[in-house]
Amino acid sequence: MTRLESFDGSAWPPPLVPSEQARATEALEAGQILYFPALAFTIEPEERRFLADGWSAAVKNISFDPARGTLGGTKAEGEDAAGLTRLMSRYAQASQKLIEAVIPNYRGQIEMARTSFRPVEIAGRTSSPRHDDTKLHVDAFPSRPTAGRRILRVFSNIDPNGQARQWRVGAPFASTARQFYQRLPRPVPGSALAHAMLGLTKGRRRDYDHYMLKLHDAMKRDVSYQQDSGVEAIAFPAGSSWIVFTDQVAHAATAGRHALEQTFHLDPVQMKHPERSPLRVLEDLAGRRLA
């Protein structure tokens, strides 16, 4: 069984009919990846120069904060920085339109977070074990606690040379959470407040964030879990786009370059099935509220 739920159409956003929107909502919340094989995000002729080497000042990403209009992780300056800002801001807006067209229930509920441009080839890239995204993991970020809000991401492969982006996708969240929960260290009372006071986190880290970070780390460290034969390999071709809850779907990116990604947050109460959110799954395991 594949973890991809596919949708036709190359117009952005694709004009989905209500039955397709219902199929998309059910699939996404069940931990499927909404896959648009022919939905390309168009790079304008004057933007093609950003697909050359040398713009990135960071190991992985050039990032953009749509709320502030600021760029990070790039050597681009002046006109180039302005052009990169336009490209990434266009992607942020297009991603929002895409989600609203595909899942109208989330309209007005999703909160736009960072945009990222990932020009660097993943294969052979070096990173610390914790930052190694070639290992299966669910997303959780130490400096950005979500307090239980979902991490919903739109990706587009914009590789000009036609290279696919290679992912591996693991078992559903509930079974993975059950598999790991007993070995996750319990939160230390007071440490969240200390993190916030030291300025280490943007907002207070809840017990939910604690468990998600520990789960993320434990998954990446577990050699036998990483080799699990239940994993599905997926190649997202150049010119395709996909939508996925990366806090729920265990994923690893093993090869590819030139992707755009837009993050949104969503309060689980806005889901059709809030009980499928990582927050509710972990709360069931903990037997108490975590956020």
As given in the structure block, the two tokens for residue 241 are 């786009």
Is 168 one of the binding residues for ligand SIN (CB under 6 A)? no
Count of residues in the chain: 291
Q: At what angle do helices 173-181 and 278-286 cross, to 10 degrees?
A: 30
Q: Smallest distance from the beta carbon of 259 to ligand SIN, in angstroms?
A: 5
**Considering beta carbons, is residue 122 or 271 the nearer one to Fe ion?**
122
State the DSSP H helix or E strand holding residue 176, giving kind and residue range, or none if neither.
Answer: helix 173-181
Q: How far apart are CA 100 and CA 104, in angstroms?
A: 5
Q: How far apart are CA 235 and CA 36, in angstroms?
A: 12
222-227 — which CB contacts under 8 Å span 24+ positions?
Answer: 222/180, 225/136, 225/170, 225/179, 226/135, 226/136
Q: Binding segment for Fe ion among 19-27, 120-128, 134-142, 235-243 (CB under 5 A)?
A: 134-142
Is 253 one of the binding residues for ligand SIN (CB under 6 A)? yes
Is 3 one of the binding residues for ligand SIN (CB under 6 A)? no
Pick one of 29, 139, 159, 283: the residue that binds Fe ion (CB under 5 A). Answer: 139
Beta strands (DSSP E) in the chain are 4-6, 33-36, 62-65, 70-72, 111-118, 150-157, 165-169, 232-236, 241-245, 251-255, 259-266
**Considering beta carbons, is residue 93 or 166 the nearer one to ligand SIN?**
166
**Considering beta carbons, is residue 187 or 278 the nearer one to ligand SIN?**
278
Residue 118 interacting partner from ligand SIN, Fe ion, none (CB closer than 5 to 8 Å by kind): ligand SIN
Q: Binding segment for ligand SIN among 23-31, 123-131, 179-187, 246-254 (CB under 6 A)?
A: 246-254
- Interface size with Fe ion, residues (CB under 5 A): 1
Amino acid at residue number 77: E
Is 217 one of the binding residues for Fe ion (CB under 5 A)? no
State how far the alpha carbon of 152 is from the alpha carbons of 138, 158, 217, 220, 244, in Å: 12, 19, 20, 21, 6
The conformation of residue 130, written as its DSSP 8-state character, comes to G
Is 140 one of the binding residues for ligand SIN (CB under 6 A)? no
Is 283 one of the binding residues for ligand SIN (CB under 6 A)? no
Pick one of 3, 150, 165, 265: the residue that binds ligand SIN (CB under 6 A). Answer: 165
Q: Binding segment for ligand SIN among 75-83, 251-259, 272-280, 282-290 (CB under 6 A)?
A: 251-259
Is 118 one of the binding residues for ligand SIN (CB under 6 A)? yes
Footprint of Fe ion on this chain (CB under 5 A)? 139
Footprint of ligand SIN on this chain (CB under 6 A)? 118, 133, 139, 165, 246, 251, 253, 259
